[in-house]
Structures are given as C-alpha cells and as structure tokens.
C-alpha cells in the first residue's frame, strides 16, 4: 500500500477516534445538566456556567485530535 494511502487511513482514524470521546462526553454532560436543572431550578445559573466550562475543555480534546490528524496528513 502506498504511503499516501496509509496517511489517509491514519488521518481518518485520528480524527474519528479523537472525536468520539468528546462527543459522548458532551452528550452525557448535557443530559446531566438538564436533569440537575430539572431537580433544582434555582441553581440553573451555576450549573450552566460549569457546563459551558466543561464543554470548552471537551472541545479542546477534539481540537487536539484535529491538529494531530492534520500533522499526520501534511508531514
């Protein structure tokens, strides 16, 4: 198999597997936050602030996976 084909497969695996974790994590986070707000509506502001912060950290992991995929593809 040529090197370009292997690079394409490695790139696809890097971004594909690297996006699964943050996607699942953000989904679970949203479900937990909605459940918490449903149980305690007075704490909505505090829950929303923490949720946005955690989503940003989870997205950073996906961005790292994208950077690794681009490095694999263009080196």
Q: Which of helix, strand or coil describes residue 2?
A: coil
Is 3.30.43.10 the CATH number for 3-74?
no
| Domain spans in the chain, listed from the N-terminal domain onward | 3-74
What does the pLDDT look like over 2-17, one tens digit per residue?
988 999 999 999 999 9
User: Is the model's pTM score more than 0.75?
Assistant: yes
State both tokens at 19.
């996006």
Distance CA 70, CA 12 (A): 10
**pLDDT tens digit string along 30-73?**
999 999 999 999 999 999 999 999 999 999 999 999 999 999 99
């Amino acid at each position: 198999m040529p090197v370009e084909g292997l690079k394409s497969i490695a790139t696809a695996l890097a971004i594909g597997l690297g996006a699964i974790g943050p996607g699942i994590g953000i989904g679970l986070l949203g479900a937990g936050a909605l459940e918490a707000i449903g149980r305690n509506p007075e704490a909505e502001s505090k829950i929303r602030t923490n949720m946005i912060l955690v989503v940003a950290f989870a997205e950073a992991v996906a961005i790292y996976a994208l950077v690794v995929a681009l490095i694999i593809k263009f080196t």
